Amino acid sequence: MGVRIGVLDLQGDVSEHIGAFRQALAEAGLLEGSDVITVRRAEQIPACDGLVIPGGESTTISKLIDKNRMRGPLEEFQGGIFATCAGLIVMAKDVPDPRVRSLGLLDIDVERNAFGRQKDSFEADLPIKGLDSPFHAVFIRAPVISRVGEGVEVLATVDGAPVAVRQGKHLGLSFHPELSGDTRVHRLFLSGL
Ligand code: GLN
């Protein structure tokens, strides 16, 4: 049975996710009957099984969600959302930055650019719940999850701070799994749809 993955194409690293999901679907034996599409119009959202909100600039992405009238369809979306970096910020309940109007679809609070200047961008071999060996994770001006609600499972931490969470079908990540050439996190998401 195939799945349709839609990558929100408003701003950010869209093509990397398309490539990573195509590869992940092939590796999971799901490529036949599946497709990976770019989502530019609100009407495309309900027809997807999974949606990606990519990394980029959360202030811009949240503005473009409203400009393209996607807030309602995203709030009502029945599938899973794969949110990375800026996407994670956009999915949070509370973000202490008035320029981001987040969706509140993950019961977490998030601080933007929270690793500070010293650790602005870094890479780490990260143990992730559900994967049998560490994942080489790329962090770029990454957010940190500062509060985790009851229904949210923490899958990975850096210095004690959560950087990967799961809530129902949704996965939220501070890092960029699409840049590692390793599709295990994408496949983890597919297996939960
Ligand atoms: N710092 C960016 C923001 O706050 C996120 C960075 C990223 O997506 N790599 O939107």
pLDDT at 177 over 80: yes
Q: What share of the chain has pLDDT > 90, as a percent?
A: 94
Cα gap 47→141, rounded to integer Å: 32
Whole-model pTM?
0.96
Q: Which atom of ligand 1 is nearest to the CA of 86?
A: 8
pLDDT (tens digit per residue) in 68-112:
999 999 999 999 999 999 999 999 999 999 999 999 999 999 999
Q: Helices in the chain by DSSP H: which ranges?
A: 14-27, 58-67, 71-76, 86-91, 184-191
Tell me which architecture the domain covering 4-191 has in CATH.
Answer: 3-Layer(aba) Sandwich (3.40)
Candidates 91, 97, 141: which one to mutate for ligand 1, based on the most atoms within 8 Å of Cβ? 141
Candidates 64, 85, 91: which one to mutate for ligand 1, based on the most atoms within 8 Å of Cβ? 85
Q: Are 135 and 171 in contact (CB under 8 A)?
A: no
- How would residue 35 be classed by pLDDT, with cut points 50, 70 and 90? very high
Identify the residues whose C-beta falls under 6 Å from ligand 1.
Answer: 55-58, 85-86, 89, 112-113, 140-141
Domain boundaries in the chain? 4-191
pLDDT at 117 over 70: no
The CB density around residue 30, as the number of other CB atoms within 10 Å, is 17
Select the more confidently predicted residue: 115 or 87: 87
